[in-house]
Amino acid sequence: EIVLTQSPGTLSLSPGERATLSCRASQSISNYQLAWYQQKPGQAPRLLIYAASSRPTGIPDRFSGSGSGTDFTLTISRLEPEDFAVYYCQQYGSSSLTFGGGTKVEIK
């Protein structure tokens, strides 16, 4: 099973700042098979990024993903008030899908 480690656990930032979230895998993830989700309290996770760097229709371009192999990054270029939430990475490069433990982006 591929273990995903997200860092930092909590990121304290102000609106307008740049957020950089990390997701590190215990083994290489093939074919960029990594997704990022945003979750707000009481809501289901929302897909932000798939295939490491692709954005679904409707996701603002301030969200971007990068990386390959074992190291992936989600960047929020300028935080909007609605971006304060918990973010999870997920790998789907193996037969057992796994999630990272999450990064909470909170208002400083």
Partner 1 sequence: QVQLVQSGAEVRKPGASVKVSCRTSGYSFTVYYIQWVRQAPGQGLEWMGWINPNSGSTNYAQKFQGRVTMTRDTSISTVYMELTRLTSDDTAVYYCARAPSRLTYFDHGGQGTLVTVSS
Please pick, from the candidates 63, 65, 88, 105, the single residue that binds partner 1 as defined by CB under 8 A.
Answer: 88
- Closer residue to partner 1 (CB): 44 or 61: 44
Window 30-49: residues binding partner 1 (CB under 8 A): 33, 35, 37, 44-47
CB of 28 to partner 1, least distance (A): 16
Q: Which helix (H) or strand (E) holds 6?
A: strand 4-7
**What type of residue sits at position 26?**
S
Count of C-beta atoms within a 10 Å radius of residue 54:
11
Please pick, from the candidates 25, 50, 72, 79, the single residue that binds partner 1 as defined by CB under 8 A.
Answer: 50
| One-character DSSP codes across 11-48 | EEE-TT--EEEEEEEEEEEGGG-EEEEEE-TTS--EEE
65 belongs to the binding site for partner 1 (CB under 8 A): no
Q: Which of 108, 103, 107 is nearest to 10 (CA)?
A: 103
**Residues contributing to the site for partner 1 (CB under 8 A):** 33, 35, 37, 44-47, 50, 56, 88, 90, 92-102
